[in-house]
Amino acid sequence: MNCLKDMIFGAALCAAAVATIPSAVSAQSSFRNYRCADGSQFVVGFFEYDKRAHLQLDGKALTLPKRVALTGSRYQAKGVTLRISKAGVVTLKHARRKTTTCEQQT
């Protein structure tokens, strides 16, 4: 009988702890919407313990690994390159299109 009471108490304690923890996604992620000069639009997500950029572009989800860059950040895979300079300038190259400058939407 004691074991059952301990299990119920433990489950209630665990449920209370989970309810008080802020959402892991909201606490550890950053999502940004961009509109580019060529008319492209995309959403990029960055997660705290993941060095990749997660894009939603042209109706497709893409994960771009971080690549070596002399300045700023560069993410590249499957013909898509996302660059973010230290000054905050964002450029995108994809689908055999020329590189285009993108601005963050609010």
Domain boundaries, the chain: 23-105
Q: Are 75 and 63 in contact (CB under 8 A)?
A: no
Topology of the domain covering 23-105? Lipocalin (2.40.128)
For residues 19 and 21, give the distance between their C-alpha atoms in angstroms, rounded to a whole number: 6
pLDDT digits (tens, 9 = 90+) for 1-54: 444 444 443 433 333 333 433 444 444 789 999 999 999 999 999 999 999 999
Residue 95 confidence class, pLDDT cut points 50, 70, 90: confident
* First CA to last CA distance, the chain: 57
